[in-house]
Amino acid sequence: MSDSIAAEPTVRERNERRIFDAAELVFARHGYRGASIQAIAAAAELPKSNVLYYVGSKRRLYVALLERTMARWNTALSDISEDDDPATVIETFIRSKMALSQTHPLSSRLFANEILQGAPFLQETLAGSMREWVESRAAIFRRWAEQGRMDPVDPVWLIFLIWSATQHYADFEAQVLGITGQAGLADADFAAATDCLCQVILKGCGLTRG
């Protein structure tokens, strides 16, 4: 069989995907306290014992969902280097985050709810691995500024800005729809909003879109 053909997911992988998707829906709808393994098992159409076998506990499943969301969001910045083009990196980051707000809005809302509660389950991650990740990305942005390749904007605040601006369209969808008078945002709306963010943020960094 050709190596180019992706392997079929295993039974475990399929079940874990069902559990994660169901848990995301239940947690986003009811919050951590209101959710239960039984409700997640029902949504996944699996026995409760199977869910516990795969995830261990409600807490472990909840934290794993949050960490999966952060990993998805930050993929576009994870492998950047000083040799990369700043405009391309920042625009790619904005576009990937906006695409995830469109395709995975529940993930964003789940994360927002955790942060609004004071991040009780993410304090260690935020103060540890996420702080280190942000600082390592910021160091590259600072070198670009030192080289005159972009304006010397504070890279940590810039990352916060991109996170918040792109997640707005998932977390505050009701506000966006109410003000625009639409029942839902179309692909063209997300494309226009994405172009707007790219234009404003890149110009603010002294960069030109590619």
Q: What percent of the chain has pLDDT over 90?
A: 90
- Summarize pLDDT for 141-193 with one digit per residue, the tens: 999 999 999 999 999 999 999 999 999 999 999 999 999 999 999 999 999 99
Query: How far is it between the farthest Cα atoms of the chain?
Result: 58
CA distances to 99, 146, 160, 203 from 89, rounded to whole Å, are 15, 17, 15, 14
pTM (2 decimals)? Answer: 0.88
Looking from the CA of 19 toward its CB, the CA atoms found within 13 Å total 28
C-alpha to C-alpha distance for 144 and 50, rounded to whole angstroms: 50
Note whether 73 and 100 are within 8 A (CB): yes
What does the buried/exposed string (b/e) look like for 43-59 if buried means 16 or more CB atoms within 10 Å of the residue's CB? bbebeeeebeebbeebe
- Report the pLDDT value the prediction gives residue 204, as an integer from 0 to 100: 97
What does the buried/exposed string (b/e) look like for 136-169 if buried means 16 or more CB atoms within 10 Å of the residue's CB? ebbebbbebbeeebbeebebeebbebbbebbbbb
Q: What percent of the chain has pLDDT over 70?
A: 97
- Summarize pLDDT for 99-134 with one digit per residue, the tens: 999 999 999 999 999 999 999 999 999 999 999 999
- Report the pLDDT value the prediction gives residue 209, as an integer from 0 to 100: 81
Per-residue tokens: 54: 């795969």
3-state secondary structure 82-120: CCCCHHHHHHHHHHHHHHHHHHCHHHHHHHHHHHHCCCC
| Confidence category of residue 1, pLDDT binned at 50, 70, 90 | very low
Note whether 34 and 25 are within 8 A (CB): no
Note whether 142 and 155 are within 8 A (CB): yes
